[in-house]
Amino acid sequence: MTLLSMTALLWSGALTAGLVGALTGLGGGVVIVPMLALGFGVDVRYAIGASLLSVIATSSGAAAAYVKEGITNIRVGMFLEVATTMGAIAGALVATHVSTSAVAILFGAVLLGSVATSFREPPGKSGDGGEDRLAGWLGLEGSYRTALEEVHYRARRVPLGFGVMVLAGALSGLLGIGSGALKVIAMDNVMRLPFKVSTATSNFMIGVTAAASAGIYVTRGYIDPALAFPVVLGALPGALVGSRLLPRIHSNVLRLLFAGVIGILAVEMLYKGITGRL
């Protein structure tokens, strides 16, 4: 395979990853890491380094559009970024001392758990379940307009959501996935925010989380420009297209897309990790 054809394949795969990442709030990393590790035989640590850069690009491309649409809750995102950044730095420091097979198995297990949780509806709508004083004090509430109505919401169980975000940040630094899966689940199922708000706010957050851990990968030498550049250049336009499509797609369709993509990749990563093929 020539360098040009390899670059074209990397760009095409990253374009798809950026589109899926923007639609689901995953950030594209859950597609890019398995694509590079399984499809191209890239060392997992270099795949994670390239993925983190693509996550930053995906977040930058999608976040601006979601903010303009009024779906992103910036206050919620800024508050939870404190937790994810702390976790991301810790995860990146640990990552270089863990075997690639162990990383692959952990990656697959996290994604399978995300699939199971995504099919469970949160117990009650965002407006139910009593008042959350901390959410009221921090102003973690908002609204967005659909074609039929204006949806109002307020966050619930803020301390638990903050704790899950620390874990999400640690997994981002360790696995290079932007941890969008856990971010969406934390906001949707734990804090009971609407799914579209969770997805849009996740895209707003994942760039900051990835940037916190990407610096450590740079200093450890796990960023290969020849690998990272086509991935970043593909992920960015994919994210822009996905951000345009999100307001027009029903939340249930997004849930199915979310579960389908990460379910397939989870099985692949678990198999490769357990058999030692990474």
Q: Are 42 and 211 in contact (CB under 8 A)?
A: no
**DSSP assignment letter at 11:** H
Kindly give, in sequence order, each residue whose CB lies less than 8 Å from that of residue 221, ignoring residues fewer than 6 positions away: none
Tokens 């976790």, residue located: 87
CA distances from 40 to 34, 35, 63, 96, 145 (A): 9, 7, 29, 21, 43
Chain centroid to Cα 101, Å, comes to: 21
Residue 70 has pLDDT above 60, yes or no: yes
HSE toward the beta carbon, residue 150, CA cutoff 13 A = 4
Mean pLDDT of 62-81: 81
What is the rounded distance in angstroms from the CA atom of residue 51 to the CA atom of residue 184? 19
From the CA atom positions of the chain, what is the Rg in Å?
18
What confidence tens digit (pLDDT) does each residue in 121-169 have? 544 444 444 457 788 888 888 888 776 778 888 888 889 889 988 988 8
- Confidence (pLDDT) at 129: 46
Q: Are 103 and 276 in contact (CB under 8 A)?
A: no
Kindly give, in sequence order, each residue whose CB lies less than 8 Å from that of residue 159, ignoring residues fewer than 6 positions away: 134
Residue type, 138: L
In angstroms, the first-to-last Cα distance of the chain is: 21
- Confidence (pLDDT) at 124: 45
Quickly list DSSP for 37-75: IIIS---HHHHHHHHHHHHHHHHHHHHHHHHHHT---HH
- Confidence (pLDDT) at 188: 83
Mean pLDDT of 53-71: 73
What percent of the chain clears pLDDT 90, i.e. is strictly above it? 1
Residue 116 has pLDDT above 80, yes or no: no
